[in-house]
Structures are given as C-alpha cells and as structure tokens.
C-alpha cells in the first residue's frame, strides 16, 4: 500500500512530528501539562490526521517503532520544560500488547532524565476490550515505573467502573461530548459530568475536561468542580517551536 510506504519514509526522514496542546489548571489558569499529538504532513496529500494514519501504522506493524519514537521525543522535550509541567502521551491498545512498552518508557525516562511522575500515559477504555489480564499486567508494569496512567475519553465508549477499580489511574479525562452537552444546558450531561467528578473525587484521581472550545464551556466545567481544562479555547496543538520561547521566560 502506498500510504504504508509513505509512512515508513516519513519515519526515516523526520516527516512525523509532535504537536503539543496545553492542559490548564481550572482555578489558576496555569499550564500544568501538555499533550503530545502525532502529526504527519504528507509531501503530496498534505496533513493526514492521526485517526487515518494510526490504523495504517498498526496494520503495517509499525506502531511499536513509531510509538517508541513518540515516547522518547516527548520525554526529551518535557525534560526541557518547567519542572512542574507534565507531558501526556497517547498509547493505543496495540502498543500495550507485549512486554516492550515498559522497557521503552524506562529507557526514555533514563535518557531524558525526566521525573517519572511528569509522564502521563493516556489510554482509552478500548484497551480493555482485548485480553484483559495482559492489559492489566502491562498497565501495572508501567505504574510500577512511577508514571501516571490516564483514562482518556471517559464516558465515550464502553465505560466500566470495573476498569477504574482494577487499574490505578491518576486522572480521568471527561469526553468532550459531555462538556458540550453540559454547556448547552442538557440536564443529562450535567448529571453525568457531576457523577464522573464525584467518582473521581472518591477515587482520589484528577480530572480534565476535554474539548473546551468556549468560555461558557470552561465556566460550566469550573463550576461543576473539574480541576483541569483542555481545548481550543485555551490552545490548539502546536509545534514545540511555538511555545518553547515562552517556557524559557517562565524559568
């Protein structure tokens, strides 16, 4: 397949890059973390969204190679940031299978000298659809390294409270559909957000509202007690060059 060949080429020629999106403390407005998001500018087709090329990468058996690069690159970047700032990396179900991921993470932490607690690994509920025992073992191994596990897009898929009790998550990210709904006055969405936040509080895990695009949405999530906010209202995913200067000033 053409795209498969192209993605191999991109990997070897720095055609894949990471964009970083800020995650904001809801009460202070300060940036507490940045989420790394994979970007691919195809020489002829232009920007191809990860939703399209990640499945190709997975089918081609390249997800481990590319996923490893993402983790190493994100850790190396974050090591240069203010030491209070974390970096979040997305991990797909395919990356969790096999024992290699914890080795990669360990290696990336060692060579970047990034504090393990400054690395957040985001997984969606999808990771639990396959081999549950193997998934939990992988997550446990990662937790043991001192990194933070984050449950991404919570509420969107096959949410189960069971996942929350079995794996030790440090944070839940509330899916953007609820953020939008709550701000539009949907009583159901408000109730769901309220319940997720109460659950998180009880479990002692942090919360981030995703896809916050307007001040009205930010205000609703703040009022409901969500600790962190992320979305275009606060910043789009941008290449590191676009904020590196600002961070220097902070330090």
In the complex, the residues that contact ligand G under the rule CB under 6 A are: 21, 37-38, 49-51, 54, 70, 90-92, 122, 152-153, 210-213, 231-232, 237
What the block records as the tokens of 16 is 């894949």
Residue 125's binding partner among Mn ion, ligand G, Na ion, none (Cβ under 5 to 8 angstroms by kind) is none
Q: Which is nearer to Na ion, 73 or 152 (CB)?
A: 152
CB neighbours of residue 47 within 10 Å: 8
Q: Which of residues 77-96 bind Mn ion (CB under 5 A)?
A: 90
Residue whose structure tokens are 């953020």: 179
Q: Number of helices and strands (H, E) in the chain?
A: 11, 10
- For tokens 């703040």, what's the residue? 222
C-alpha–C-alpha distance, residues 133 and 116, integer Å:
24
Among 6, 73, 120, 122, binds Mn ion (CB under 5 A): 122
Q: Give min distance, CB of 22 to Na ion, in A.
A: 14
- The number of beta carbons lying within 10 Å of the beta carbon of residue 108 is 23
Angle at 216 between CA 232 and CA 240, to 5 degrees: 20
Residue nearest to ligand G (CB): 231
Residue 3, both tokens: 């795209």
Q: Give the number of residues in contact with Na ion, rule: CB under 5 A.
A: 3
Residue 39 or residue 118: which is nearer to ligand G going by CB?
39
Question: What single DSSP character describes residue 223?
Answer: H
Is residue 68 a contact point for Mn ion (CB under 5 A)? no
Q: Which of residues 219-248 bind Mn ion (CB under 5 A)?
A: none
Backbone phi, then psi, for 24, in 5-degree steps? -110, 140
Residues 6 or more apart whose CB falls under 8 angstroms from that of 41 comprise 15, 17, 47, 48
Residues 194-213 as x/- pattern, contact with Na ion by CB under 5 A: ----------------x---
Site string for Mn ion, 129-168 (x = CB under 5 A): -----------------------x----------------
Residue 50 interacting partner from ligand G, Mn ion, Na ion, none (CB closer than 5 to 8 Å by kind): ligand G
User: Which 106-165 positions form the footprint of Na ion (CB under 5 A)?
Assistant: 152-153
Binding stretches for Na ion (CB under 5 A): 152-153, 210
């Amino acid at each position: 397949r053409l795209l498969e060949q192209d993605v191999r080429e991109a990997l070897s020629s720095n055609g894949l890059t990471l964009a970083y999106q800020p995650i904001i403390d809801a009460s202070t407005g300060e940036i507490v973390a940045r989420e790394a998001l994979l970007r691919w500018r195809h020489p002829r087709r232009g920007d191809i969204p990860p939703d399209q090329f990640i499945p190709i990468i997975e089918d081609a058996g390249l997800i481990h190679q590319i996923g490893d690069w993402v983790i190493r690159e994100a850790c190396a970047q974050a090591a240069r940031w203010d030491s209070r700032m974390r970096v979040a990396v997305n991990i797909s179900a395919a990356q969790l299978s096999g024992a290699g991921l914890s080795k990669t993470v360990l290696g990336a932490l060692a060579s970047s000298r990034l504090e393990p607690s400054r690395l957040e690994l985001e997984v969606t509920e999808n990771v639990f659809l396959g081999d549950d025992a193997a998934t939990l073992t992988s997550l446990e191994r990662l937790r043991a390294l001192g990194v933070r596990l984050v449950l991404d897009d919570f509420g969107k898929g096959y949410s189960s409270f069971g996942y929350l009790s079995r794996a030790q998550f440090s944070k839940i990210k509330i899916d953007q559909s609820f953020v939008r709904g709550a701000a539009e006055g949907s009583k159901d969405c408000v109730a769901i957000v309220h319940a997720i936040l109460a659950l998180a509080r009880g479990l002692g895990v942090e919360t981030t509202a995703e896809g916050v695009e307007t001040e009205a949405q930010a205000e609703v999530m703040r009022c409901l007690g969500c600790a962190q906010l992320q979305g275009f209202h606060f910043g789009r995913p941008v290449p590191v060059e676009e904020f590196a200067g600002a961070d220097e000033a902070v330090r």
